[in-house]
Amino acid sequence: MEKKELRIVYMGTPDFAVESLKALVEGGYNVVGVITMPDKPVGRHGSVLQASPVKEYAMSQNLPVLQPEKLKDEAFLAELRALEADLQIVVAFRMLPEVVWNMPSFGTFNLHASLLPQYRGAAPINWAVINGDTETGATTFFLTHEIDTGKIIRQKHLPIADTDNVGIVHDALMTMGAGLVTETVDLLLEGKVDAVPQEEFFKDPAELRPAPKIFKETCRINWNQPLKKIYDFVRGLSPYPAAWTELVAPDGSRMALKVYKTEKRPASHDLATGTICTDAKSYVDVAVEDGYIRFQTLQLAGKKRMEIKDFLNGFKQIGDYTVE
């Protein structure tokens, strides 16, 4: 089958998913429909509806768009069947019921932003950086009943630098993933897919690191961790959703502080964990068990994000505070 004959339905929502759709469209593949989330109400009263990035791109290319509330809805399933897809591709969408993923003759494959079977779950890029990994990657695999467990088609590796934050890794994987999606389609067209069960990639399930969804409480910094752990934690949540802590004033009052960028400064000291050291002009260090975390980019609740020198211009008394 030629690539122009293969009828593809594409499913995705955020920016991460736009790059792969764009690669398919610009590569001359036959995308016959796009499935994305319903428009979201935004604004003060929810009076404005915002389309997903995938919908915006699909509309710019005059691609048919479906936005089901429920994926088992009969009206949606009828519309999906009418598209007569040979293949479905899923990138950063939601869990599909079997009636959907089992529909096309070529099946449905997913692009996942990790080297499966590691980091199954909703936040694989964040957790790879949080855990201090020096490498991650992207995987295409066939969908099956259990989430992120299907047979692996193809993988690509990406190094993670010690200074990379999750935003940098996300963008690199987004571009790499788009190439992986088109390569995977080409392999399917050529009949060269030899998908491998994920069980062949590990001996003991205890080796597998999960990538669960991240909530606000997940993002709170634990200052009792070693220096490197705290440093990796901050970059694994930067720029989004951002690590945070509480500044505690001498009178016991507290304010939330988001931390976007830090530097690690190994040192021996006898200060209590959470003690703040500063010259009130150019640096703010937080004492931890094996050194200091030096703040570089911060955001106080209700204020804009600032580099440390600008932050100190308006908050010279920070040396009187501690963090918890």
Segment holding 78, helix H or strand E = helix 74-82
What radius of gyration do the chain's Cα atoms show? 23
Biggest distance spanned by C-alpha atoms of the chain: 73
Separation between Cα atoms, residue 295 and residue 309, nearest integer Å: 10
Residue stretches of the annotated binding site for (6S)-5,6,7,8-tetrahydrofolate: 114-117
What is the Cβ-side half-sphere exposure of residue 1, based on CA atoms within 13 angstroms?
19
Separation between Cα atoms, residue 125 and residue 115, nearest integer Å: 10
Exposed/middle/buried for residue 221 (C-beta within 10 Å: 0-12, 13-18, 19+): buried
Residue 311 main-chain phi, psi, to 5 deg: -60, -45
Residue stretches of the annotated binding site: 114-117
Q: Find the helix packing angle between 166-190 and 15-26, rounded to 10°.
A: 40
Residue in 14, 19, 8, 83 with CA at minimum distance from that of residue 52: 14
Strands (E), the chain: 7-12, 30-35, 40-42, 48-50, 65-66, 87-91, 108-112, 135-142, 152-159, 243-248, 254-266, 276-278, 284-288, 291-300, 306-307, 322-323
119 C-beta neighbours (distance < 10 Å), count? 27
302 C-beta neighbours (distance < 10 Å), count? 7
| Residue 166: strand, helix, or coil | helix
| Residue 3: strand, helix, or coil | coil
Separation between Cα atoms, residue 127 and residue 213, nearest integer Å: 10
